[in-house]
Amino acid sequence: MVVVRNRDKLLRKHRLLKEDKFFRAVNAGVFEAADMARAEAFRSISSGSASGRKTKKHAHTPSAPGDPPNRDTGVLQANIEITNPKPFVAEVSSNAPYSAALEFGTSKMEARPFMRPARDKTREPALARLIRKLNVLVRTL
């Protein structure tokens, strides 16, 4: 014979999984995680070390290969966006015309990644924050 302790409490928590409140909380947590990655990408561009060499043509100092790009016009940062295409999915993208060239490099330029490092740096803290929020929600029952 199996004895289930706190049966009513377990049933209330199980019902929570079917409630709109739970879905909204998870979706908000996913969006918040995406925003953490967006903010980190933005920050990495703003805090560029200007470690590259200054060219004669431009006053802008490019970043060294492998480092995030240095801020020049602000277009790259202004075009980092978050979309929420479907429940539990948030996408962070950089829609500046030269984003892909900076992120992955070209045949003439080495990569200056800023999105993937931001994603990697914020993955664990974002997951921990989401888990904390959901634990609080479940405890309130």
pLDDT tens across 40-62, in order?
999 999 886 554 455 566 566 77
Tokens of 107: 């045949």
Residue-wise over 61-89: b if at least 16 C-beta within 10 A, else e? bbbbeebbbbbeeeebbeebeeeeeeeee
CA distance 91 to 107: 27
Domain ranges for the chain, please list them: 17-47+61-139
10 pLDDT above the threshold of 70: no
105 pLDDT above the threshold of 50: yes
What's the pLDDT band for 7 if we cut at 50, 70, 90?
low
pLDDT of residue 52: 46
CA distance to 38, 59, 66, 69, 106, per residue, from 56 (Å)? 32, 7, 22, 18, 21
Q: Model pTM greater than 0.85?
A: no
